[in-house]
Amino acid sequence: MLVSCASQKTDVDSVKVDDSDYNMSDIYAQNWMGGAPGSSTGTDLYIPTRLLGDPVEVHQVIYKGKSTTQAEYTDISRATVVAHFKDGQKDSQMTENPEGEYGNELPIMNPKAKNLKDDEALIVFSRNGKRYEKVIKNVKQKPALPYPSMPSNQSN
């Protein structure tokens, strides 16, 4: 059982951003599929850093019920952060015996995540040492990106 009290509140601000400051089409998600046998699938969420301010350090991104801490700049210009959501993460052990579930990772979900719509993402980040949360609305879904498979070594 998880219990929370007022003494555990963190210093987190909601970011107020004028939506005219960025082009909504710049914020998008794209599913991807690995082409090699046994490779994985997932979703990448692309977020312009001008939406969050600069410099930023992204701590957590929540999108479509999934949470990730895997976020990085796409290039040296630091204009875009991409958050990686990999499908089929490690399975948890579920048993009637609580001791059989030892080693399972506890899900860390922000309370604001339960109110997100299907086209919204929550970003938890810090800028200049201060922690912020930002709900991004109108995330566009781009067509899936299938990566090519490795060429076969079979000769004809």
* Model pLDDT, residue 20: 44
* Model pLDDT, residue 62: 92
53 is a domain residue: yes
CA 67 to chain centre: 5
140 is a domain residue: yes
**How many residues does the structure list for the chain?**
156
* Model pLDDT, residue 2: 34
100 is a domain residue: no
d(CA 90, CA 76): 31
Which two three-digit tokens encode residue 4?
């929370």
Cβ(78)–Cβ(54) under 8 Å?
A: yes
d(CA 26, CA 46): 8
The domain of 67 spans 11-87+108-145
The mean pLDDT values, 10 residues at a time, for the chain of 156 residues are 37 47 69 79 90 85 89 86 81 59 62 87 92 92 78 56
62 is a domain residue: yes
Count how many domains the chain has: 1
118 is a domain residue: yes
Q: Which helix (H) or strand (E) holds 135?
A: strand 130-136
127 is a domain residue: yes
98 is a domain residue: no
101 is a domain residue: no
